Homo-oligomer: A and B are copies of this chain.
Amino acid sequence: MTVYEKLQELKIELPVPAAPVAAFVPTVRTGNLLFVSGHIAKREGQSWAGQLGNGISVDQGRKAARSAAVDLLATLHHELGGLAHVKRIVKLLCFVNSAPQFTEQHLVANGASELLQDVFGKDGLHARSAIGVAQLPLGACVELEVVAEVA
């Protein structure tokens, strides 16, 4: 099954990537590594704003992380000219907008990690860190950045 068949099976439609809202580019390739810019979680095209432990539940956070991962796939698809060029998701860094007492950043990040594995199989298995940050651009509840191996 190709990655695109898998996306279809999961009923995931890749959105058109939004242009960065600031002075940077979506991805930079160096050798076989692709560094992907931070993707904030969005809902209906706007920042998915809020804070875990303060109005956003773990389940909502997981969905936001999954949604940001879908946007990230759309960026990879668009920048590489197809997801078949992704050889491996190497590293995921998941920033979770966290109230002072919220300590389940890893569960939120799973929303992204599981999507990447659902889509890429074992090539989607990645190293990861999940951390709780004080705030994120546009108040987003989650932001993801990725390093991928590409061909």
Question: How far, in Å, is A90 (CB) from chain B's closest CB?
Answer: 5
Question: How far, in Å, is A141 (CB) from chain B's closest CB?
Answer: 11
Residues of A110-125 contacting chain B, CB below 8 A: 110, 113-114, 117, 125
B35 and A127 form a contact (CB under 8 A) = yes
B134 and A134 form a contact (CB under 8 A) = yes
Residue of B nearest to A132 (CB): B135
Q: A127-138 vs B: 1/0 string, CB under 8 Å?
A: 111111111111
Question: How far, in Å, is A95 (CB) from chain B's closest CB?
Answer: 5
Question: How far, in Å, is A128 (CB) from chain B's closest CB?
Answer: 4
Q: What residues of B have a CB within 8 angstroms of the CB of A10 in the complex?
A: none
Q: What residues of B have a CB within 8 angstroms of the CB of A147 in the complex?
A: 35
A103 and B37 form a contact (CB under 8 A) = no
Interface assignment of A22: CB less than 8 Å from any CB of chain B: yes
Q: What residues of B have a CB within 8 angstroms of the CB of A107 in the complex?
A: 22
Indicate which residue in B25, B27, B132 contacts A136 across the interface (CB closer than 8 Å). Answer: B132
B23 and A114 form a contact (CB under 8 A) = yes
Q: What residues of B have a CB within 8 angstroms of the CB of A49 in the complex?
A: 103
A: which residues have CB within 8 A of B?
Answer: 20-28, 30-33, 35-38, 49, 88-93, 95, 98-107, 109-110, 113-114, 117, 125-139, 143, 145, 147, 149
Q: Which 7 A-B pairs have the closest CB atoms?
A: A38-B129, A132-B135, A24-B128, A23-B113, A106-B137, A103-B139, A35-B127
